[in-house]
Amino acid sequence: MRAVFGIDVSKASSEVAILVNGDKVHSYTMTNDAIGFSRLLGDLETVHQPEIVFEATGGYSRRLQSFLENKGYAYTRLNPLEAKKQLDHLRVRKTDKIDAEKLAASQFVLNRKSSYVQEPVYQELRDLSRFYQNLTEDSVRAKNRLHKVLQVTFPNLETILSTPTGEQYWNLVSTFPSKDFVLDLNKDELSNSIRQSTSKRISEKRVAALADKMLELTKQSYSAVKKTSPILEEVRYYAQEWLRLSERRQALLDDMVQLAQPLPEYDILLSIPGIAETTATSIIGELGDIRRFQSANQINAFIGIDLRHYESGNFLAQEYITKRGNPYARKILFKCIHNIASASHTNPCHIADFYEKRKRQSQTTSTKPHTIASIHRLIRTMYYLITHNQLYDYTSTQNR
């Protein structure tokens, strides 16, 4: 006897369809909570080796997935696009109830394999990686908003340091949101404020130079608001918010490194020139256990850089990537290629060599075509090194 459970997962409830040897025997709606999962467990326990099929629907299906893993049941989790392609030709009408039944019925025809269950550390790294990226987006947003309001209050302050970023810069912005706050201080008080703006040791010569520059900027600047304006509080808020986000991001990165260090792929990724702690942990978090993929091309499809090919008669369309995979991983690897290219000046890498070669051959001004090709080369390299448990060696790549 072969029993298949098709489950269509929604926000608060799920439709369950049970088919035995291809015939529907039961269907019902369960809530996505302990009570609903308890009812599902009762039905699962009545059959031997049940096959469970459901679509991945983000946080909604993750609760079901966690429940099944905790109870020791294998399952098949389908990508929504994959499920749509497989079921569209089977259904005339579309409802959640019909979808659950079709998921189960199609299993008898397609005989899908159970999904690979990764070690919990990979899911934890993904959660931390997504949190880290969200905080990065928030910090960029805070920086952009600060720039906007600082143009009204004290725009010249952005040139006080070589780059308008870092702990000292944000503390100076918070202390002097307007030039009026500089004019309220004498030279010694100003120097003391600058000295306290950073936790790092700073020489008196540097303090004096910054104080002189601050006074010069104050003479040049013209504020559009008075010292009592509420915009000054907004300047302080965004400066302090960026500092808070920066500290939280660093704490998250430390947690990610601590989790990733015991994994063999962590040191392997760090051995590739241009990949540092943040990138290595983010790659592991987004790609998970790379060993579960059967080829590097599967990873290409997973992140959405596989090419879409269309040919009809004498017409051949230009190929472009599908972008149907993991957008977070795609963004990380895109930046990673440019880091590798930048690091190649001191740490040679065959991926950087390939990138520069394709860049010279490219007929377009866009960086995307040769970057995408280089990402594929990087994925092949990572996949080979991790599956063979080898560190990167530039000299060995030159002998192939």
How far is C-alpha 181 from the chain's CA centre? 41
Structure tokens at 222: 């013209």
- The DSSP annotation for 265-297 comes to HHHHHHTSTT--HHHHHHHHHHH--GGGSSSHH
pLDDT, residue 362, reads: 72
Does CATH number 1.20.1050.10 belong to domain 124-253? Answer: no
Residue 400 CB-half CA count within 13 A: 7
Gyration radius (Cα) of the chain, Å: 28
* Unique residue bearing structure tokens 């010249």: 156
How far apart CA 305 and CA 192 sit, in angstroms, is 53
Architecture of domain 3-110: 2-Layer Sandwich (3.30)
* Unique residue bearing structure tokens 């392609």: 85
Tens-digit pLDDT profile for residues 151-161:
999 999 999 99
Burial-class residue 339 by CB neighbours within 10 Å (0-12, 13-18, 19+).
middle
Tens-digit pLDDT profile for residues 216-274:
999 999 999 998 899 999 999 999 999 999 999 999 999 999 999 999 999 999 999 99
Per-residue b/e over 92-120, b at no fewer than 16 CB within 10 Å? eeeeebbbbbbbbbbbeeeebeebeeeee
Q: Where are the domains of the chain?
A: 3-110, 124-253, 263-397
Structure tokens at 149: 């309001």
- 46 secondary structure, DSSP code: T
Structure tokens at 341: 């290219």
How far apart CA 318 and CA 64 sit, in angstroms, is 41
Q: How far apart are the first and last CA of the chain?
A: 53
Q: List, run by run, the mean pLDDT of 10-residue segments along the chain (400 residues).
A: 93 94 94 95 94 90 94 91 71 79 92 91 94 94 95 93 90 94 92 91 92 93 91 95 95 95 96 94 94 91 73 54 82 94 92 89 67 92 95 82
348 phi/psi in degrees, rounded to 5: -65, 145
Residue 141 CB-half CA count within 13 A: 8
CB of 180 within 8 A of CB of 223?
yes
pLDDT, residue 313, reads: 60
What pTM was estimated for this model as a whole? 0.84
Left (φ > 0), alpha (ψ -120 to 50) or beta: where does 313 sit? left
310 phi/psi in degrees, rounded to 5: -135, 125
Task: Report in angstroms the alpha-carbon separations of 192 from 159, 184, 197, 207, 209.
Answer: 20, 13, 9, 8, 13
Same fold, 3-110 and 124-253: no
pLDDT, residue 217, reads: 93
pLDDT, residue 369, reads: 78
* Coil, strand or helix at 378: helix
17 phi/psi in degrees, rounded to 5: -125, 130
Residue (of 126, 125, 55) closest to 85 by Cα position: 55
CA angle in degrees (0–180, nearest 5) for 161-246-287:
125
